A and B are shown apart, each in its own frame.
Chain A
Amino acid sequence: MLKPRMFLKEECLNIKRLLDDTLRHAYGSAKSEEFYKECRARLNSLSAQVQVVDEANLAEIHTLASQINLLSDTITKIERSHIGELSWPFALVIKEMALAVCRENVKAAHELDPLFFFSANGGMFVYAVFPETKALSRRRIFNVVFPRSFKYQVLLHTILGHEIGHVAYAYHELKHELEAKVTTVLLHGSPFTSPSDLQAWLVKTYKQTLNGPALADAFARWRQEYFCDLFGLLIMGPSFLPAYRSLFHLLDHRGSRWSATHPPTMSRYSMLQDALTILDWERWEGVSHQNLQQPLNSMYEPMRQHVSAIPPEMRILDPNQVKLATTALQDILRRMGTTLYAHPNPDELNGIVTALLNGTPAICTKIEARRGKSKKRYLINEPIDFRHILFAGWLAIYHDARDKDDLSLFKINRLCDRSILHQDAISTWSEHFEREPVSSNVSN
C-alpha cells in the first residue's frame, strides 16, 4: 500500500501533468490562461500543504485528499469542455448575465470575477450550473452544463435563467438579502415557512414523511427552487415559460411528483402563472399587434388552462405574497445592469417574428439618408436584447403562419442562434471600433 502522504504527493504531480495537458485543447468561451492560473494556484497551495502534513494526521490527510480529488475533477471537466458542443454565442450571453449577478455581490476588481466554463452532457434534463460556494483559491469556478443534443436549441436554454438563480444563492451576502427580501416574502403563509410545516404538508398531501436531516435539506432546497423559478422568469422574460413547461411536462406530466430536492411542479406552475399575471405580460400592449396576438394567445393559453386545473392543495403560494416578492426581486435585479428583463417595443418584436417566419435571422440594420446637403447614407445597428430574440423565436413557433414543413423547430432555433451571433458581431465591432488612418490606397 502507498503511504497516504506519498500517494497525495504523487497525485499532485499527476494533476500538474493533467493541467498542462489541458493546454493542448482549444478552450470554450474563456481563455485558457485564466483557468490555468487559477487551477495552478490551487494545486500549488494543496501541494504545499501535502509537503508539511503530519503523516499521522489522518483527518487532515483525508481533507486534502478530498480537495485534490475535487481539483482533479474540475480540471478534467474543463479539459472536456468543448466549444463545438454548444452554442457559444448563447453561452457568452449567459455568462455575461451570470457575471452581472456575481459582480453585484463581490464589489471587487474584475480580475476576481468567477470563471465560467461550459460543458455538454448527455440527456435532456441536465441543464445545471454548479457553483462553488466557497472559492478554494481567489476565484470561484462555475460549471454550466447544457444537454449535448440541444446544441442549437437556444429556445430551451432559457431554462438556465433558473440556474443563474442558484448562482446568486452561492454568494453568502446576496443569498442573505434574497432570503430576507424575496424568498421569505414569497413563501410567507405557505407550508414552507418551517421544516415542521413542510412535514405536516407532506403528511397531509402525500401521506409521506422525511426524517430529520433530509427534512431540513428538503426545506432549504425547496425554498431555493421557488426563488429560482421566479428569478428565471424575471431575468429571461416570457420565453422562460414555454421552455420550462416543455421540459417539465416530459419529466412529470401530472406535475404532482416531488423529491427531496424539488417541490411538486404543479405548485411551481401556479406560482409562475401568478407572477405572469402580476407582471401583466399576458395583457401587454403588444397583444393588440395583429401579428403577435395569435401566437401570444397560443403561447399563454395552454399554461392558463393547465394552471386552472391545478387542485387547491397545490396552489400553495399566496398571490399577494408572489406580488410582493416579485416587486422586491425586481428592485434587486435593477441594480444588476440589464439583468432584469424588459419587454421589447411591439414593432421591434413584430419585426423579429416576421424575419424568423421568412426564414431569416433577426434584422438589426437600418440604412438611412443623412439630412441636409450631404447625400451620404449612414447605418444604424440597433442592438437587440437576446431575450427579445428568444421571445420572438417562441412566438414564431406558435404562429399559425409558420409552414411547419419548411420551418421546423430546429430551423427556428438555429435562426435565433444565428441572430444572437449577429448581435455578438455588432457588439464586437462597436466595442473595438477604431477609425482607420486614411493612408491606404488599396481598393477592394
Chain B
Amino acid sequence: MYLSPILCMEQIGAISVDLRLGNMALLVRGSGTSHVDPRAYAKRDAHGTSRTQRQKFDQHEFMFREQFLLHPGSLALVPTLEWVKLPTNVKGVVTARSCWAREGLNIATANFINPGYNGIITLELSNLGQIPIALFAGMRIAQIAFHDVTPDAADEFAASQFQMSFEPRAGNIVKHDRSFIPFDSGNRKRTRGKHP
C-alpha cells in the first residue's frame, strides 16, 4: 500500500488515516449548464460532449496558504493532497472528518475506493451550512479506512473509470447505461439487440 505524503503522526489514527485537501477545485459554473443531462454525456459528438463537460466546471488552482471559499449549496470536486495506491485485496472507505461535518462541510457519496486503485482521491465537497466555508490546501478534511476484501478482487472486475487520476474530473454518468438514454434521432441509430 502507498499513501504519501504524511506530514505528521497525528494524521494516522487507530483505524484510519486523515486526508488533506489538494490544490485544485472544480466548481460548477452557474452559467455553464442549465441542468445535468445524461444525454450530454451519451452524445457521440466529441466536441459537444467535451465542451459540455469542460464548461460545466470552473477550474481553480490555489497554492498553499491561499484561501478557497465554498459557498452554501455549492458542490466542489477537489483532489486529496495524498496519492494513494491500494493492493488488490484492500478497499478504501473515505468519510468526512466529523469536526468539519459539524461546520457544514459534507463529503458526499462516492466514498469507496476500489482495490488496486492508484491515484489521487476525488472528494465531492458540499457546504450544507448557511455561511461560506474558507478552506486551505493542506488541511485535513477527510479520512480513509482500509478493509480487506476477497484476494485479487480487482482482477475480477473492471477497473474504475478514474484509475490513476491526477486531478478531479467529471465522471461518465451513462457508462454502461446508454440503453436507457433516449437520444436525439440524428445522433445515433437504434441498434436493437446489440449493446451500443
- Chain A contacts to B: CB under 8 angstroms: 26, 29, 83-84, 88, 92, 358-361, 363-365, 367, 376-379, 381, 411, 414, 418, 421-422, 424-426, 428-429, 432, 442-444
In the complex the two chains form, is A418's CB within 8 Å of B83's CB?
Answer: yes
Which chain B residues lie closer than 8 Å to A377 at the CB level? Answer: 9
A108 shortest CB reach to chain B, Å: 25
Q: Is B85 part of the contact surface with A, judged by Cβ < 8 Å? A: yes
Hey, which chain A residues are within 8 Å of B13, CB to CB?
444
Of B60, B64, B118, the contact of A428 (CB 8 Å cutoff): B64
| Alpha-carbon distance A443/B6, docked complex (angstroms) | 19
B residues less than 8 Å from A426 (CB atoms)? 5, 7
Give chain A residues whose Cβ lies under 8 Å from the Cβ of B138.
425, 428-429
Further 4 A-B residue pairs, CB within 8 A, beyond A360-B4, A379-B8, A411-B164: A358-B85, A360-B118, A367-B9, A421-B81
Q: Are B5 and A444 in contact (CB under 8 A)?
A: no
Contact of A84 with B59 in the complex, beta carbons under 8 Å: yes
Which chain B residues lie closer than 8 Å to A367 at the CB level? 6, 9, 12
Contact status A381-B118, CB under 8 Å: no
Which residues of B come within 8 Å of A, CB atoms?
A: 2, 4-9, 12-13, 20, 23, 59-65, 81, 83, 85, 97-99, 118, 138, 143, 164, 166
What chain B residues lie within 8 Å of A428 (beta carbons)? 64-65, 138
Q: Are the C-beta atoms of B166 and A379 separated by less than 8 Å?
A: no
Shortest CB distance A429–B (Å) = 5
* A444 CA to B97 CA, complexed, in Å: 5
Residues B166 and A361 in contact, CB atoms below 8 Å apart: no
The residues of A that contact B97 with a CB separation of less than 8 Å are 444
CB pair B9–A379 under 8 Å, yes or no, is yes
B64 touches A360 (CB 8 A): no
Determine how close the nearest CB of chain B comes to the CB of A86; give it in whole angstroms. Answer: 10
**What distance in Å separates the Cβ of B121 from its nearest Cβ neighbour in chain A?**
13
The answer to whether residues A425 and B7 also contact, given A29-B63, A84-B59, A418-B166 and a CB cut-off of 8 A, is yes
The answer on a CB contact under 8 Å between B8 and A429 is yes
CA distance A292 to B50 in the complex (A): 41
| A381 & B166 in contact (Cβ 8 Å cutoff) | no
Which residue on chain A has the smallest CB distance to residue B85?
A: A360
Chain B residue contacts of A422, Cβ below 8 A:
4-5, 81, 83
- B5–A425 contact, CB under 8 A? yes
A84 to B62, CA, bound (A): 9
B residues near A429, Cβ cutoff 8 Å: 7-8, 138
